[in-house]
Amino acid sequence: MCDTTRTSGYVLCLLAALLFPCLAAAHAFPERSVPRVGSALTAAPKAVRIWFDDALKAGPSRVTVMDSTGKTVSKGHGHVTGNNPHLLKVALESLSPGRYWVHWTAVARDDGDKTHGKFPFTVK
């Protein structure tokens, strides 16, 4: 009797889960970037571009670049480009030699799932 009740309960829960459409739960992660992660450049880049594996929400997705002291060297917080929702881009100030950290936050367009990360590059 109890086994039957318990099994029926599980089955009902699973059926409800299967039939109830709701929101998405996808995560966006970088596919590639320019400059490349961990690269050492002889010429200072003018911008950072990161291509993601998911379309991004324009407002909250952002990218900033900091030098080794934590000073922001990017012009603003970047933006998702209009013609490619997978591309996050930010322009840079004139960079002197040193290590820089790219901090990004990606919010998936479909469901608002947020991921974040950071990676370095060096200007020689």
Partner 1 sequence: MRSFLCDKLTFRVGVMLIWAGFIVPAPAFAHAVAGMRVFPATLSFDDPGVANEFAVNDGQLKAGGATTNTLSLAYSKTVTRRFGLSVASDYSRVRQSGAADRHGWDNLSVGAAYQLFVNGPHEAIGMLGVSDSLANTGSADIAGDHSTVSPEFAFGKGMGDLPWSLRYLHPVAVTGAVSEDIPRDSAQPRMLNGGLSLQYSIPYLQRFVKDVGLGAPFNKMTPIVEYTVAKCVDSDALCRSSGNRATTGFLNPGVIWAGKYFQAGIEAQIPANSASGDHVGVLAGVDVYLDDVLPHSLGAPLFR
The phi-psi region of residue 20 (left if phi > 0; otherwise alpha if psi is between -120 and 50; otherwise beta) is beta
Chain residues 91-110 in contact with partner 1, contact rule CB under 8 A: 110
Partnered with residue 33 across adjacent β-strands are 50
Sheet containing strand 98-107, edge to edge, reads: 40-41, 114-123, 98-107, 62-67
> Residue from 32, 72, 76, 97 that binds partner 1 (CB under 8 A)?
32
**Is residue 36 part of the contact set for partner 1 (CB under 8 A)?**
yes
- Among 43, 20, 32, 10, which residue's Cα sits nearest to residue 104? 32
**Is residue 42 part of the contact set for partner 1 (CB under 8 A)?**
no
How does DSSP classify residue 4? H
Question: Closer to partner 1 at the Cβ: 37 or 91?
Answer: 37
**Is residue 53 part of the contact set for partner 1 (CB under 8 A)?**
yes
**Is residue 117 part of the contact set for partner 1 (CB under 8 A)?**
yes
Interface residues toward partner 1, by CB under 8 A: 2-3, 5-7, 9-10, 13-14, 16-18, 20-27, 29-30, 32-33, 36-39, 53-54, 110-120
